[in-house]
A and B are shown apart, each in its own frame.
Chain A
Amino acid sequence: MTIHKGDNCGFTQASAPILNGKRSIGVKKQTVFFQNPPKIIAGASVVTDRESKGPIGQYFDITEHDPKMGKKCFESAEITMMDKAVRKAVEKSGKRIGDIDAFMAGDLLNQITTSAYVARGLEIPFIGLYNACSTFTEAIAIGSMMISSGYYENILCSTASHFATAERQYRYPLEYGSQRPPYAQWTVTGAGCSVLSNKGEGPRVVAATIGRVIDFGINDLSNMGAAMAPAAMDSMTRLFKDTDTRPEDYDLILTGDLGKLGSDILRDLMREQGYELGQRYIDCGSLIYDVTQKCYQGGSGAGCSATVFNSYILRKINEGEYNRVALFATGALMSTQSCYQGETMPSISHGIVVER
């Protein structure tokens, strides 16, 4: 595989010039700095066997051995999975469901049914979100704004995805004998939930970058990494410029689900912007599965960043291994129809900065 090493590929000349650190008049910054940073007081993750056999398998809270979880269909299993993650997170935070002011959630299914059905059982105010696989950071970003502004005290942020339901909606029936290209990804079966609060102990969400929709003209439904990498590049560059930081200022920079190919492309794109990501950058999708697990380029899906962040990353921040982490979940905003109609794949990436 030939990856560019620092030579100018010229991908970003067409877009508007990016701010140079200082505030320009008439151009707003994309990054929000929280005056009263909310704390992530607890996080929980639910996965299935495949994820628990991966490199960070031991960090997940609950492992389900049956992907159907004894339900009639996979959709019900996804609902149960998110419900379990939500209840586990609330339990770990030492609160009760009744103490929570709002439940913010999203998933990949049509009309975000998984989140809505979980909310039905929780009986608390619900804010449904959809930004494909970047919904998790979108939830954290908006939730943090709501808490920082003082209107809300405790907020649940959750996303889930299921391999079987995603396959059914976006691709072929499960048992259909189709071949995937080697640059495809594997949808993570899992759900993650974070509890944000204005009180209590935990890492603080200090800033959030709301991403723009970026489209570099990729129309191959299997090559999600290549479609989403430019969006991650855009938001990441914005964060660095807005906060006047460089990759070296972070202990860990994460992207949601670019996969191995996507993260290699992102490294190239960032190098072109003048940022060397180096060893401190890793992708949740390439972290969750082992190379031997035959998951092609790695994990994808709304559950990917949510499970990895709420297990391994949150634990390591709490243990003091990382002091400042930037997480950029990435999402491709197409539907199966839009691609058949000749549209390309627009993508988005929202970033959050978490400090210990």
Chain B
Amino acid sequence: MEKTATQLRNERYSKYVDAVSPQTSAVKSLLHSFVLGGITCVIAQIVNDLFALAMPATEKEMIATFTLMTMVTVAIFLTGLGVFDKLARFGGAGLFLPITGFANAISSASMEFKAEGLIFGTSTKMFSVVGPVVVNGVVWSTLAGIIHLIIFGRIM
């Protein structure tokens, strides 16, 4: 189909805007997220080791669960203090890919909509940011499970 003059103009303008708009430096972003993501993981590992030291009789999986809970609590606490978003602005994916990002997304949304009350505000809007993560997590892991079942004949 022949492009209209407006479409052609818009394409030209879009190219021009792409050329003049400043872009984020990939190297810098990667470096920042590497550093902050690394620090997050090191802290989690320290917490994990401390739990293992304090409770030698507990199973490994249980200790991992405790560590996750601690990290989530810390992330929510930092969100409440208004520090997390500043760290994440710097660290990017390094902070929002680990479970800390998930905790931040839920807690920030529930804080944001507190003004509309517990039911119509917090409860309704709590998953507004992480909703897509939850839905896609369930859908894709189900798919992965089915593929695994077909190939190996078992779920796990």
Contact = CB atoms under 8 A, between A and B. Distances in A.
Nearest to A179: B92
A230 B91 CA distance: 35
A340 B101 CA distance: 24
Interface in A139-186: 168, 172-183
A57 to B, nearest CB: 23
Contact of B89 (A12, A179, A223): A179
Contacts of A74: 115
Interface stretch (A1-9, A114-122, A127-135, A245-253): A1-9
Contact of A218 (B14, B107, B115): B14
A175 B111 contact: yes
A265 interface: yes
Nearest to A172: B129
A11 B20 contact: no
A268 B84 CA distance: 39
A72 B117 CA distance: 11
A265 B17 contact: yes
B11 to A, nearest CB: 8
B12 to A, nearest CB: 6
Contacts of A181: 21, 23-24
A14 interface: yes
A176 B8 contact: no
B95 interface: yes
B28 to A, nearest CB: 11
Grouping DSSP codes into helix (H, G, I), strand (E, B) and loop, the A interface class, with mixed when no group exceeds half, is loop
Contacts, number: 116
B132 interface: no
Given A226-B21, A265-B20, A14 B96 contact: no
Interface string B6-45: 1111111110110111111000010000000000000000
B127 to A, nearest CB: 12
B115 A183 contact: no
Nearest to A181: B24
A10 interface: yes
A253 to B, nearest CB: 21
B48 interface: no
Given A72-B115, A216-B10, A223 B108 contact: no
Contacts of B105: 176
Contact of A261 (B5, B12, B22, B108): B22
B6 A175 contact: no
B5, B16, B101 interface centre (most CB from chain A within 10 Å): B16
A85 B24 CA distance: 38
**Range for the number of chain B residues in contact with chain A:** 35 or more
Contacts of A230: 13
Interface string B58-81: 000000000000000000000110
B108 A183 contact: no
Contact of A173 (B10, B96, B101, B112): B112
B7 to A, nearest CB: 8
A73 B22 contact: no
Nearest to B19: A2
A183 B79 CA distance: 26
B88 interface: yes
Given A3-B20, A218-B17, A177 B6 contact: no
Contact of B82 (A14, A175, A179, A226): A175
Given A10-B9, A14-B9, A217-B10, A175 B107 contact: yes
A10 to B, nearest CB: 6
Contact of B109 (A11, A176, A223): A176
A175 B5 contact: no
B95 A177 contact: yes
19 contacts: A1-B22, A2-B19, A9-B13, A11-B12, A12-B9, A13-B5, A74-B115, A173-B111, A175-B80, A181-B24, A182-B21, A216-B13, A217-B7, A217-B11, A217-B14, A226-B17, A226-B21, A265-B16, A344-B10
Interface of B: 4-14, 16-17, 19-24, 29, 79-80, 82, 84-85, 87-89, 92, 95-96, 101, 104-105, 107-109, 111-113, 115, 128-129
